[in-house]
């Protein structure tokens, strides 16, 4: 929970947008004297709207600001295998499984 010094700093803003506190009554109550607008962090389950447009609509910004990565390289004859070994505590594919999976991509 934000302490008094954090609350004092937040009070200097004209407008605060939060997706974090939408479902947290304790935080909403703690920030009740501040100019905070709380929005749901997730679109409705049945929504077909892109997540970016969902967030943009909440802050009354124009839709269509979907990030894009141009990929004009054409078809390539290789595969990239990433077994999510970003953290030491995660367990990835064994070397044998990795080789087997890679070879199955080219059958």
Q: Where are the alpha helices (DSSP H) in 11-107?
A: 25-30, 51-58, 95-104
For the chain, the average pLDDT equals: 80
> pLDDT tens digits for 14-41?
999 999 888 889 999 999 999 999 999 9
Indicate if the alpha-carbon torsion angle 36, 42, 48, 52 is positive or negative. positive
> Is the CB of residue 41 less than 8 Å from the CB of residue 22?
yes
Interior angle at CA 84, CA 66 and CA 50, nearest 5: 20
The phi, psi pair for 9, rounded to 5°, reads -70, -40
| d(C-alpha 104, C-alpha 99), whole Å | 9
pLDDT category at 75 given cuts 50, 70, 90 is confident
């Amino acid at each position: 929970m934000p302490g008094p010094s954090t609350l004092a700093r937040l009070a200097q803003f004209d407008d605060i947008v939060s997706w974090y506190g939408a479902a947290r009554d304790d935080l909403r109550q703690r920030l009740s004297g501040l100019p905070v607008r709380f929005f749901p962090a997730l679109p409705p389950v049945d929504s077909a709207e892109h997540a970016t447009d969902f967030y943009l609509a909440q802050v009354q910004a124009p839709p269509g600001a979907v990030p894009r990565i141009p990929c004009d390289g054409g078809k390539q004859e290789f595969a990239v295998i990433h077994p999510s070994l970003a953290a030491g505590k995660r367990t990835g594919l064994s070397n044998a499984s990795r080789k087997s999976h890679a070879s199955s991509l080219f059958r």
